[in-house]
Structure 1
């Protein structure tokens, strides 16, 4: 991390970073150690979770724009979390918390069942080499984890600039139990661009390289 990120980590972690119990790995979550969101944020409010929040550009702006909603950023790269905390502090954001952890374990262990109103996964690592495709997050093992964390009626939002990963996401979610598209069939095969997703440098880079951005949205069954 840069000197500024090191200072941000030291000074701002007590305010923003969740202290969690680990299993064997440094970014793991010990089973049976779920958080209580109301206790974490000091109130009962809708909860939005972003997996793979990167440097936090999207979630910091979202949190600043929706003070009545709580946000949790999930990321494994400490430098990105430090930058997120720094930007959140500069913006005066207080309805945001961060966790340095593996996404599947957050969904399975850290978050209580049916506690999340929206789950965002924007531009996850595409692992674009064919031999690495098995490492992609959105695979058949993923929907049950998302379904567990999302409340009935909650929404899963996805976006990617890799065409084959977009198709894989759609296939996985089409076959998943307990989810239905959260956009009308008249819109076509893809959801309209999510207005709540700010345009980041990462997205601009993909567009500049000629890659089309594809959004998907699915609603958790129930009411």
Structure 2
């Protein structure tokens, strides 16, 4: 099991203040109870940091009020890693995408608590966000940490890392920008490597080694530490846009 909440389908009852949702296609959603802090994040943080598909193609400089390196994370779970990265790099801007409502609330509450202003949040399908809201050539990094591995063979087609997705990501990255993936499922790591090695316009930063050592800039989650104690591996891949 991974940090990213891509678990069996379930319906979630929207609140009156919830932004409109569209069909989830990049991953599926689970329901969850909201803690007081998470609800505070939604109530107070969403008006400040929330983004919706109907805003259309974003002017990122206008959105953040500056020109800065930009990172987008797909499936930030409960937001711990994204919050840590944003706090450690206030000179950079971050966009997070997550459909799990308690996770969105947790991240927003963290932003309020730590007084951060360099993060914006979508709570809808990542494929739609990339298609409709993120300008081509605008991202320095795109992060995909611990996506659902869909480990059953009959479900492999549901994995988000596929040739069409690799091309979509490439268009959104600047030349020199990096697509950074991490997974704790070795077979999914092999699948990612197979897809990305033949994706046009990329260079594997690990070269023939395939996988890079765990980068210092990727925070270690509680989930990952627990996995390490149990002897579980984690595989990081970094592919740079070269064309």
Deviations 1:14-49 (A, max 9, x none): 11111331xxxxxxxx8xx21111111111111001
Deviation at 1:130, TM superposition (A): 2.0
In structure 2, distance between residues paired with 1:167 and 1:159: 11
In structure 2, distance between residues paired with 1:104 and 1:210: 33
Structure 2 equivalent of residue 25 of structure 1: none
**Contact 1:155 1:182 (C-alpha < 8 Å) held by counterparts:** no
1:191 matched to 2:191? The reply is no
Unaligned runs of 5+ in 1: 22-29
Deviations 1:150-182 (A, max 9, x none): 011100101000000000000000010011112
Alignment root-mean-square deviation, CA: 1.4
In structure 1, distance between residues paired with 2:99 and 2:162: 19
In structure 1, distance between residues paired with 2:225 and 2:188: 18
In structure 1, distance between residues paired with 2:50 and 2:132: 17
Which of 137, 161, 167 is the aligned partner of 2:184? Answer: 161
Deviates more, 1:128-137 or 1:190-199: 128-137
Which of 101, 107, 113 is the aligned partner of 1:78? Answer: 101
**Contact 2:41 2:112 (C-alpha < 8 Å) held by counterparts:** no
In structure 2, distance between residues paired with 1:189 and 1:11: 43
Deviation at 1:89, TM superposition (A): 1.6
Question: Which residues of 2 match residues 1-223 of structure 1 at below 5 A?
Answer: 1-21=34-54, 33-185=56-208, 188-222=209-243
Q: Closer, same or farther in 2 for the Cα pair 1:160/1:176, shift >3 Å?
A: same
Normalising by the residue count of structure 2, what TM-score does the alignment of the two structures yield? 0.82
Unaligned runs of 5+ in 2: 1-33
Deviations 1:67-124 (A, max 9, x none): 1110001111111110001112212211111111211222222100000000111101
In structure 1, distance between residues paired with 2:62 and 2:99: 23
Q: The residue matched to 2:51 in structure 1 has which SS? A: coil
In structure 1, distance between residues paired with 2:225 and 2:139: 29
Deviates more, 1:176-185 or 1:201-210: 201-210
Q: The residue matched to 1:141 in structure 2 has which SS? A: helix
Deviation at 1:206, TM superposition (A): 2.9
Deviation at 1:6, TM superposition (A): 1.7
